[in-house]
Amino acid sequence: MAKAVALVDREKSKYIKNTRDLVAFRKIAVSYLFALYVLPQYFGIPNPVFDLTAVRLTIIAIIALIVTDYKRSKDFAEILVREKMGIALLPYILVLLYTMVLRVDINAFLNPFIEFIELYLMIYLIKDTFGVDEAINIFMKMIYLLVFLGFLEMVMGTTPFVYLKTIDGIYTGRFVRGGHYRIMSSASHSLGYGLMLITMIPFSGYDIKTKEFNVFRRPIFLILLMVNVFQTGSRSTLGVAFAEIAMMFVLSDRKYLKANIIYMMTGMVVFFMVLMVGFKTAFGQYVMLQLTSLVDTIFNTTYSAAYGADLLQMQQSKAYRDLLKEIYHVDWVNPILGLGRKRAFRSLVNGRVVKSIDNFYIAEFVRYAYPGLYSYVLFLGYMIFRMVRDFIKTRSGIIRMCLCGTVMYCLNIKVVDSLQTLKYLYVLFAIYICADKTPYVQEEKKSRYIKKEKFHFART
C-alpha cells in the first residue's frame, strides 16, 4: 500500500512540475512579445560589442528554454525546415553571409538575421503556446497601450519611453516641424512610429469572435489610431494610412457594404464640421497643415503655405527624393557587393552631400547592392503573393488584415527607411502563416420564399 502511495505521489509531482514549466514558459513568451512590440531598442544592457536590448534578452531566454527541452526543440526545428518561407529567404541569407565576409562587417549579417529569428520565434509561440486568436488579442492590448501612450506623449511633448533610455546612440531626441512636436512612441524616429501605425491600423478591422473583417469594426479605435498618425507629422504616413483605410473598405465583408458607406459619409461630414468649427484653433490649423501638405506633395501645389508650411523646405524635400534615385548610378557602390552596415552613410550624389536615405529599397541597394535588393524584394513579393492566393481561396478575415498591413507597409518604405520596424511587418507574417487556411465553401442559396434577413449595421 505504501508503495502504491509513493508511486501516486511521484506521478503527481511530475504533473505539477510540467504545469509550472508551461506557466513559466508562457510568462517568458508574453514578455518576449511585449519587449518586441512595445519596448524601445534603447532599453537594455549596453555592451561595447553587442548591446543586450530587452528583446534580445528575452530571445536568449526563450531559445535557452527551447534547446533544453526535447519536444520544444523538435517542434521549433520542424518549423524551420517545413515552413516554405525559408526557401524564399535563402537567397537573401546568402547575400548577407558573403557581404559580412567580404566587407568584414558582422552587423551586415547579424542585424537582419536577428529579425528573422524574431519572426520564427513568433511563429513557434503562436503555434505552440498562444494560438492565433489569443496572439491577436495580446497584440491588440499592446496596440491600445501604445495609442494611449501616444496621447500622453502629445501632452508631455516628449516620448514617455525616454525614461527607459539605457543604451546610447539609438534615441535621437525630440522632433519638431513648423513649431509642432511630432510624436515618436518607442521608435527611434517619428517616421518609424508612422510605420508601426501602418501595421497596426488593420487590427482595428478584425473581429476575433466572428472571424470577419470590417474597416469600421472598431470606429473609435480607428479614429484614435488616425489621430496618432496625424501627430507623427509625416505626410507619407498620412497618405498611406488613408490608402490603407480605402483598401480595408474594399476588402471588408460584403454584408457590411451599405453600413460602411453610411459610416464613411457620416464620418466625413462630422470631420469637416468639426474642422470648420475649430478652423481658427491651433488644432484646426495643424490638421489643415497636414492635409494640405499631403495634397501639395501629391499634386505639386502650394496650398499648405496658407497654414504656415515652409515651401522652400518642401521643395528641397522633393529635390532630395529625386536625387536619391541617382544613387543607383553612382560609382561608389559596387552593383554586386554593397557597403554593408558598419559605415555611417555620407556620400556625394551628383555633387551634393547625402547623409541619410529615406527610401528602404535604395538603402538596401547601398547596403547589399542589387543581389540584396532583388532577393529581399523577392521575399516580400513571395509573401504578398501567398497572402493574395490564400485570401482568394479562404476569404479569411485574418489574411485580409495581414494583407492590408503588409502591402501598405511595403508601399510606405518607398519614402522612408525601415528604421528598425521590420519586426512589426514580421508580426503580420507570423499571424498569417499560423492562420487557418481552410478553403471557403459558399453557402447554399436560400429560398426566395424564406423571409429576408434583416439588415444590421457593423458593430461599433
pLDDT digits (tens, 9 = 90+) for 284-315: 888 888 888 888 888 888 888 888 777 777 77
pTM: 0.91
Beta bridge partners of 349: 352
Grid coordinates given for 235: 505626410
Residue 90 near residue 83 (C-beta atoms within 8 A): no
Residue 34 near residue 157 (C-beta atoms within 8 A): no
Q: How far, in Å, CA of 108 to CA of 99, rounded?
A: 7
Q: How far, in Å, CA of 321 to CA of 116, rounded?
A: 29
Q: For a pLDDT cut of 70, what percent of the chain falls above it? A: 92
109 pLDDT above the threshold of 60: yes
Beta bridge partners of 175: 182
Q: How many CA atoms lie within 13 A of 317 on its CB side?
A: 19
- Neighbour count for residue 245 (Cβ, 10 Å): 22
Mean pLDDT in residue range 225-250? 96
Beta strands (DSSP E) in 9-121 are 44-45, 52-53
Provide the pLDDT for residue 450. Answer: 52
DSSP states along 184-240: -TTSSSHHHHHHHHHHHGGGGGB-TTT--B-TTSSHHHHHHHHHHHHHTT-HHHHHH
Name the burial class of residue 51, with classes exposed (0-12), middle (13-18) and buried (19+) by CB atoms within 10 angstroms of its CB.
middle
Per-residue pLDDT tens for 412-421? 999 999 999 9
391 pLDDT above the threshold of 50: yes
Residue 292 near residue 307 (C-beta atoms within 8 A): yes
Q: Output DSSP code: residue 359.
A: -
Provide the pLDDT for residue 435. Answer: 96
Q: What is the mean pLDDT of the chain?
A: 89
Beta bridge partners of 352: 349
Per-residue pLDDT tens for 19-54? 888 899 999 999 999 999 999 999 999 887 778 999
Residue 33 near residue 142 (C-beta atoms within 8 A): yes
Residue 203 near residue 241 (C-beta atoms within 8 A): no
Per-residue pLDDT tens for 145-202? 999 999 999 999 999 999 999 998 888 888 887 778 999 999 999 999 999 999 999 9
Q: How far, in Å, CA of 95 to CA of 105, rounded?
A: 13
Per-residue pLDDT tens for 334-353? 999 999 987 666 677 877 87
Grid coordinates given for 178: 513648423
Mean pLDDT in residue range 111-135? 96
Q: How far, in Å, CA of 151 to CA of 75, rounded?
A: 41
Q: How far, in Å, CA of 415 to CA of 290, rounded?
A: 17
7 pLDDT above the threshold of 50: no
Provide the pLDDT for residue 451. Answer: 52
